[in-house]
Structure 1
């Protein structure tokens, strides 16, 4: 049994962390292309909802964290604070400003694909809160990003396999969750492209991690294929993709990353790698009957390495709780 679970104390802690940064505007790293002097505007003007948390995408998944925790633990002071802030934030006017930003001539690549996928996850989570209008208000923004993803799938010749924000498989995993609920043609397109890009991959060497990665290119690809394939299809594919799993190879997938400097935003990504690997291993474990204990044990080791560092330095604190929550909720519905 895991030492780590989403109990009430952990949920309250994560909620307080996210409440503390989704409205913290500075320091801020913009994904913003200037076309003229008048484009030099502060984050809260460009993005009246998602201006906190150091960058746009972290603010989006900070909000996903908050809404998820509010749903799971509704009768808490933190849940009530989340409700008040969400009501103030998810308004038609503010959502339209966020959506209109995408119409800028130089915004085609804005937050592609990581921020797109997280926005879809946020909208999916908002749809589970039947006592609020948040999903209704956010839907135009979600639809705009879904349309962008649909177009992008048609022109992306090769998948991007790095373990950072540009990773294709990670975006497909999150986006497929949304599309299966709201846009089945997009869901089918995601499944088709995943099979096209990754279906012939075999004998993965897992030369990872890179020094600034927060995703395992190998494990997130496996999770993507687990979502895109039927269970029998996945078993056949996975056996070829990681054929030496029973002997603990590739060894790199079983060893938590060492984080040398948590004040360095890039090096701090490695705490996220440990959390996202835990998410992947926990999610894959039920599909690996012969290796499930190995998967759970490996996830546990990665959680032990990362969970003490979810807060402490803002370079990790502005985003790590989201990945911890993914790991703790793996396989939950």
Structure 2
């Protein structure tokens, strides 16, 4: 599978089919009282679709990215129309107001924060539209949240699901390099504080409901924050047997036993994020391809996978390109 017009159209059709689908829906919502009971659309008028808030956000990243890279696709015009409706000033004002309430301090932290920043970064590449300007207050709100969070997070969260520290720092760093140099410096410092002493990764992965590779996600982040020679030394200590095919788990694509089970379906994400990391690290293109191929049919398969997997497939396909623009 390569990123061409046919693939881009497939991803676009899949994402357009669910960014406005309100139900089923899994909310990240703390109710402080009876007045806080509301529907997903009322709580999140911009990002109520795609089963959960963060999936809706990164599906919009997918759509805007496709619109930029393939502007002549028929789907590109639909993306523009739908984005103008969804990423309206009123809708994004409401999203910001929700994020600012006391009970939402931990809302989508850090995974959803990182994807919102990444969406804002992509929106900034669409100079003919006001989407980035409208998203900016929410992005900067989450950037402020990062400052507070890094101050209290004594130890990184290493498992391969939404709370993973390395993955969120990686996406957020790419935003911060453009919009917030102070935060970029804090992220680099935090990454080194959390991971610089890591040696001989045990690589007990994948976990049964993980969608990230904790091992490779950490390495991909460290490549972003360390000078090349320092990273090479660190990486040699972190995965000292990689050239001998160890840890073996990193070379074996995960298999999903039941694509209708949302947690089991996470394992397709492991394959895409491994491919993304292999390419970010400049290693073993054949292994990156093998991991993508193992899960490509799930991109528009059962809704438990199709509401989010296109974003991770697109990350893998663009690995190493977007960061150098």
CA RMSD across the alignment? 0.7
Moved more, 164-173 or 90-99: 90-99
Length-normalised TM-score, structure 2: 0.98
Q: How does 1:122-137 map to 2 (within 5 A)?
A: 122-137=119-134
The list of structure 1 runs, each at least 4 consecutive aligned residues, that deviate by more than 6 angstroms after superposition, is none
Q: Does 1:20 align with 2:13?
A: no
Deviations 1:82-137 (A, max 9, x none): 00011111222111110010222211110000000000000000000011110011
2:312 is the counterpart of 1:323: yes
What's the CA shift string for 1:46-69, capped at 9, x where partnerless? Answer: 000000000000000000000000
Q: Distance in 2 between the 1:222 and 1:235 partners? A: 10
Aligned mates of 1:215, 1:277 — CA distance in 2:
7
Which residue pairs with 1:192 in the alignment?
189
Render the CA deviation track for 1:19-55: whole Å, top value 9, x for unaligned.
Answer: 0000000000000011111111001110000000000
What do the CA deviations read for 1:168-208 (whole angstroms, capped 9, x no partner)? Answer: 00000000000000000000000000001000001001011
Aligned residues: 322
Whole-Å Cα distance in 2 between the matches of residues 326 and 21 of structure 1?
19
**Partner residue of 1:64?**
61
Given that 2:27 and 2:40 are in contact with CA atoms closer than 8 Å, whether structure 1 keeps it comes out as yes
- CA–CA distance in 2 between the matches of 1:306 and 1:191? 32
- 1:303 equivalent to 2:300? Answer no
- 1:1-333, aligned counterparts within 5 Å? 4-285=1-282, 292=283, 295-333=284-322
Q: Give the unaligned 5+ runs of structure 1.
A: 286-291
User: Which residue of structure 2 lines up, in the alignment, with residue 288 of structure 1?
Assistant: none
Counterparts of 1:80 and 1:103 in 2: how far apart (Å)?
A: 33
Task: Indicate the SS of the match to 1:300.
Answer: helix
**Distance in 1 of aligned mates of 2:202 and 2:248:** 9
